[in-house]
Amino acid sequence: MKAIIQTDPGDPTSLTWQDTPTPTPADGEVLLRITTAGVNRADTLQAQGHYPPPKGDTDIIGLEASGVIEDANGCVRPDGTPWYAGDEVGALLSGGGYAEYVAVPAGQLLPVPSGYSLTDTASVVEVACTVWSNLMMTAEVRKDDLVLIHGGGGGVGLFAIQVTKALGAQVAVTAGSEEKLEVCRNYGADVLINYREDDFVEAVKEEGGADVILDIIGAKYLNKNVSALAKDGHIVIIGMQGGVKGELNIGKLLSKRGNISATGLRYRERADKARIVAATVEHVWPLLENGTIRHHIDRVVPVQDAAGAHQALLAGDITGKIVLAVE
Rounded to an integer, what distance in angstroms lies between the CA atom of residue 30 and that of residue 74? 8
In which band, very low, low, confident or very high, does the pLDDT at 102 lie, cut at 50, 70 and 90?
Answer: very high
Residue range 2-125+266-325, CATH number? 3.90.180.10
> Cβ distance 305 to 3 under 8 Å?
no
Residue range 139-262, CATH number? 3.40.50.720
Mean pLDDT (the chain) is 97
Tally of helices (H runs) and strands (E runs) in the chain: 11, 15
264 has a pLDDT exceeding 90: yes
Sorted by where each begins, the domain ranges of the chain are 2-125+266-325, 139-262
Rounded to an integer, what distance in angstroms lies between the CA atom of residue 135 and that of residue 64? 20
> Cβ distance 176 to 196 under 8 Å?
yes
Rounded to an integer, what distance in angstroms lies between the CA atom of residue 239 and that of residue 216? 4
Query: How much is the pLDDT for 210?
Result: 98
In which band, very low, low, confident or very high, does the pLDDT at 309 lie, cut at 50, 70 and 90?
Answer: very high
- What single-letter DSSP state applies at residue 280? H
In which band, very low, low, confident or very high, does the pLDDT at 168 lie, cut at 50, 70 and 90?
Answer: very high
> Cβ distance 157 to 125 under 8 Å?
no
> Cβ distance 318 to 176 under 8 Å?
no
- What single-letter DSSP state applies at residue 168? T
In which band, very low, low, confident or very high, does the pLDDT at 327 lie, cut at 50, 70 and 90?
Answer: confident
Helix (H, G, I), strand (E, B) or coil at 68: strand
User: Looking at residues 200-226, what average pLDDT do you find?
Assistant: 96
Share of the chain above pLDDT 90, in %: 98
Kind and range of the H or E run holding 212: strand 210-215
Rounded to an integer, what distance in angstroms lies between the CA atom of residue 43 and that of residue 8? 15
pLDDT tens digits for range 50-97: 999 999 999 999 999 999 999 999 999 999 999 999 999 999 999 999
Output phi, psi for 111, to 5 deg. -65, 155
User: Looking at residues 258-284, what average pLDDT do you find?
Assistant: 97
Helix axes 178-186, 155-166, angle to 10 degrees: 30
pLDDT tens digits for range 18-60: 999 999 999 999 999 999 999 999 999 999 999 999 999 999 9
Query: How much is the pLDDT for 212?
Result: 98
User: Looking at residues 197-211, what average pLDDT do you find?
Assistant: 96
221 has a pLDDT exceeding 90: yes
151 has a pLDDT exceeding 90: yes
